[in-house]
């Protein structure tokens, strides 16, 4: 029989014990063997999500690309400074007209299975990409302008372009296209469907040890024969964590990236001496209100769209939802922090102007009705497709438009269904998220979003402006900086006037990390592979430094 006193004492001991043990495990102590001044090869734990099988043909979106980049290399690659460094390539030469490049590969680089990396592999890679059809979620697919890639020697590769490419060293060019082994992929017909781990033979600093789909758990271990040397970080573990900053606080992960959080949420982390908070370059995350112009009616009428823009107080949204951690969306798409940015019509919050616009355009309220009707008598009532999870922003947009007599019915879908619905052109209005607007790729992004023939989730639905088409294609080939800027500026003014998309807010992003296990975290200037604005750049893990190709010593 338990006596009361004994019971109480026992429970007190247990609680105290748990608390003590708990506080012991609070932070991830540096791994075994770390004596004063010594550095050991760390294991990094990060929050994971399922972004697909990490082959260059099957991943999903930016984070998925990063997962593949640990295994596969590119000819050139960026470090923290944003400078493109020779990676698989040792050096290059380019012609004056920018239509041909010759790359010399490094000596002694081999695939994970021991075979040497040759120019043949590079040539094969570009041909292979051309021959495959992949989902738009595989974000890196080489420029069509790369006409021919030829192996001119054991380690010499020649690129011939149909037109000069301003971004040749960046996104969709040699700074981002992953090189794959010919001897593995030559016999595979459907690259995207190939999801057997045995196919993941790369030249990169890490090998995939395990991947569980659904959960999104990935484990990578270092390739000690990597051409730059034994990678500094020994293991990368991505595990599903419901709330990354809670996980960081508990010591479960080493770095947590968050976006759209208020300053108060980060305050305790900024005050903690063991942690550091990195600010992501602004304007790299966004959400926008999309109209499907192809559906016709009011949706295809620019005055309707402009009225909607005037009705939504985007500055208030930044205050209300983000506590100021962000900026209002720019109708010209490119954020004000980017070199390509030029001032365009901002559609300042002005409900009266909105009402007037609608009145003048023939959208009237009849009788006592709240909702306006178009000249054909159809009510201005639309479905608003949004992806889970539904944020308060949706509510704010619905209210704002309700005020001017436009009725929106939000419909929430899970992410894959949402993407599919949107790409298939089945939405009337939708709120879609995007990222990477402030990378090197900013100008090229305009092409992705506003060119009339692209097909991505973020594409301006049903939008076709031949002048915009001409401008966004021309800027791709303009090697002269200022000429290019002028082209991009003109494009921005047009898209701001046409307003097929209203970017709503550009929330700020942050990464909080624990300094004690690894401290070389950085946001790559211009984005990883010139397009992904995330923190996980393999360069940092390989070298343990922020810049350069020297690997930090571990003894």
Partner 1 sequence: MSALRSPLVVVGGAVVVAVAAAAVFAPVVAPYDPTALSGGALEPPSADHLLGTDVIGQDVFSRILWGARSSLLVGGGAAGLAIVVAILVGVLSALAGRRVDVVVMRILDVALALPRLPLLVLVGALVGPSRIALILLIAFVFFPGPARIFRSQALNVRTRGFIEASQGFGGGSLYLLRRHVVPAMGPIVIEVFVALIGRTILFAATLAFLGLADPTEVSWGLMLNQALLETGLYFTPAWTWLVLPAGFAITLVVLGFTFLGVGLEPLLNPRWKRGL
Partner 2 sequence: MLTRPHPRDTAQETFAFDDDVRGAPGVDVDAGGAGRRRPLRAIAISYLVTVFVLVTLNFLLPRALPGDPILSLIDPAAPTRVPIEELRQELEAFYGLDRPLLVQYVDYLGDLARGDLGVSIRYNRPVAELIGERLPWTLLLIVAAMGFATIVGWVAGVHSAWRRGRPVDMGLLTVFLTLRSFPTFFLGSIALFVLGVQLDLFPLAGARSTSELMGPLARAVDIAHHLALPALIMALPFVGGHYHLMRASIVTELGADYLVAGRAKGLGERRLKYGYAARNALLPVVTLTALHLSAAVTTEAIVVETVFGYPGLGRLLVDAVPFRDYPTLQASFLILAFVVVTANLLADLLYAALDPRTRR
Q: Which residues bind partner 1 (CB under 8 A)?
A: 243, 245-246, 258, 260-262, 264-265, 267-268, 319-321, 323, 389, 392, 395-396, 399
Choose the contact partner of 215 out of partner 2, partner 1, none; CB within 5 to 8 A by kind: partner 2
CB of 422 vs partner 2, minimal distance in Å: 11
Choose the contact partner of 250 out of partner 2, partner 1, none; CB within 5 to 8 A by kind: partner 2
CB of 409 vs partner 1, minimal distance in Å: 11
Assign residue 180 a region (left: φ > 0; alpha: ψ between -120 and 50; beta: otherwise). Answer: beta
Strand order in the sheet with 100-105: 89-94, 100-105, 156-161, 146-151
Looking at the Cβ atoms of 335 and 507, the one nearer to partner 1 is 507
For residue 420, say if its preceding peptide bond is cis, omega within 30 degrees of 0: no
CB of 265 vs partner 1, minimal distance in Å: 4
Choose the contact partner of 264 out of partner 1, partner 2, none; CB within 5 to 8 A by kind: partner 1
Pairing assessment for the beta strands 255-259 and 509-514 based on DSSP bridges: antiparallel
Strand order in the sheet with 235-240: 206-212, 217-222, 235-240, 43-48, 255-259, 509-514, 275-279
Give pairs for 481-484: CB < 8 Å, separation 24+: 484/166, 484/443
Task: Say how far apart CA 71 and CA 113 lie, in whole Å.
Answer: 12
CB of 394 vs partner 2, minimal distance in Å: 14
Binding site for partner 2 (CB under 8 A): 1-4, 7, 18-19, 21-23, 25-26, 28, 31, 43, 45, 213-215, 237, 239, 241-243, 246-247, 249-253, 388-389, 412-414, 416-417, 419-421, 426
Choose the contact partner of 21 out of partner 2, partner 1, none; CB within 5 to 8 A by kind: partner 2
Looking at the Cβ atoms of 316 and 364, the one nearer to partner 1 is 316
- Closest by Cα among 420, 286, 283 to 340: 283
Burial of 102 (0-12, 13-18, 19+ CB in 10 A): middle
CB of 19 vs partner 2, minimal distance in Å: 5
Looking at the Cβ atoms of 91 and 425, the one nearer to partner 2 is 425
CB of 420 vs partner 1, minimal distance in Å: 21
CB of 252 vs partner 2, minimal distance in Å: 5
CB 219 within 8 A of CB 209: yes
Query: Which residue has 């899970």 as its token pair?
Result: 414
Looking at the Cβ atoms of 236 and 491, the one nearer to partner 2 is 236
Pairing assessment for the beta strands 235-240 and 206-212 based on DSSP bridges: unpaired
Choose the contact partner of 237 out of partner 2, partner 1, none; CB within 5 to 8 A by kind: partner 2
Looking at the Cβ atoms of 263 and 416, the one nearer to partner 1 is 263
Task: Say how far apart CA 225 and CA 278 lie, in whole Å.
Answer: 32
Choose the contact partner of 199 out of partner 1, partner 2, none; CB within 5 to 8 A by kind: none
Choose the contact partner of 18 out of partner 1, partner 2, none; CB within 5 to 8 A by kind: partner 2
CB 544 within 8 A of CB 233: yes
CB of 239 vs partner 2, minimal distance in Å: 4
Choose the contact partner of 378 out of partner 1, partner 2, none; CB within 5 to 8 A by kind: none
- Closest by Cα among 544, 555, 546, 548 to 222: 544
Which two structure tokens, joined as six digits, stand for 140? 């890196």
Looking at the Cβ atoms of 112 and 235, the one nearer to partner 2 is 235
Contacts of 196 (CB under 8 A, 6+ apart): none
């Amino acid at each position: 029989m338990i006596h009361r006193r004994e019971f109480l004492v026992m429970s007190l001991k247990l609680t105290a014990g748990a608390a003590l043990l708990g506080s012991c495990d609070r932070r991830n102590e540096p791994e075994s063997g770390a004596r004063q001044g010594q550095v050991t090869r760390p294991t990094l734990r990060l929050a994971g999500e399922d972004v697909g099988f990490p082959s260059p043909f099957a991943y999903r979106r930016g984070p998925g690309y990063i997962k593949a980049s640990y295994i596969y290399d590119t000819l050139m690659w960026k470090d923290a400074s944003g400078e493109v460094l020779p990676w698989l390539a040792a050096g290059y030469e380019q012609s004056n007209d920018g239509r041909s490049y010759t790359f010399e590969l490094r000596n002694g680089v081999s695939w994970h299975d021991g075979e040497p990396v040759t120019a043949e592999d590079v040539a094969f890679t570009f041909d292979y990409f051309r021959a495959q059809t992949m989902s738009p979620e595989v974000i890196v697919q080489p420029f069509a302008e790369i006409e021919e890639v030829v192996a001119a020697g054991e380690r010499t590769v020649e690129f011939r372009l149909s037109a000069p490419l301003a971004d040749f060293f960046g996104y969709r060019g040699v700074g981002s296209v992953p090189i794959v082994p010919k001897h593995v992929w030559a016999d595979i017909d459907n690259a995207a469907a190939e999801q057997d781990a045995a196919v993941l033979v790369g030249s990169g600093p890490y090998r995939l040890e395990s991947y569980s789909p659904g959960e999104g758990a990935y484990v990578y271990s270092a390739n000690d024969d990597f051409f730059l040397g034994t990678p500094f970080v020994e293991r990368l573990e991505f595990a599903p964590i419901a709330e990354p900053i809670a996980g960081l606080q508990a010591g479960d992960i080493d770095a947590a990236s968050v976006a759209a959080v208020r300053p108060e949420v980060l305050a305790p982390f900024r005050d903690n001496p063991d942690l550091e908070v990195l600010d992501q370059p602004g304007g790299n995350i966004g959400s926008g209100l999309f109209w499907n112009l192809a559906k016709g009616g009011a949706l295809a009428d620019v005055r309707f769209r402009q009225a909607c823009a005037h009705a939504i107080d985007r500055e208030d949204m930044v205050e209300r939802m983000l506590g100021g951690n962000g900026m209002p969306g720019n109708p010209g798409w490119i954020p004000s922090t980017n070199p390509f940015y030029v001032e365009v019509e901002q559609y300042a919050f002005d409900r009266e102007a909105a009402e007037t616009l609608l009145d003048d355009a023939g959208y009237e309220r009849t009788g006592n009705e709240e909702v306006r009707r178009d000249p054909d008598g159809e009510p201005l009532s639309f479905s608003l497709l949004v992806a889970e999870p539904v944020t308060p922003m949706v509510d704010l947009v619905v209210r704002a438009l309700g005020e001017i007599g436009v009725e929106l019915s939000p419909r929430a879908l899970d992410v894959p269904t949402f993407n599919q619905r949107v790409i298939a052109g089945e939405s009337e209005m939708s709120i879609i998220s995007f990222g990477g607007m402030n990378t090197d790729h900013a100008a090229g992004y305009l092409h992705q979003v506003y060119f009339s023939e692209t097909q991505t989730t973020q594409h301006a639905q049903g939008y076709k402006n031949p002048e915009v088409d001409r401008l966004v294609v021309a800027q791709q080939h303009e090697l002269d900086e200022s000429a290019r800027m002028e082209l991009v500026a003109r494009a921005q003014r047009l898209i701001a006037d046409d307003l097929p998309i209203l970017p709503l807010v550009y929330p700020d992003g942050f990464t909080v990390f624990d300094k004690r296990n690894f401290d070389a975290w950085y946001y790559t200037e211009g984005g990883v592979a010139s397009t992904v604005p995330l923190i996980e750049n393999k360069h940092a893990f390989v070298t343990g430094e922020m810049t350069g190709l020297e690997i930090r010593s571990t003894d």
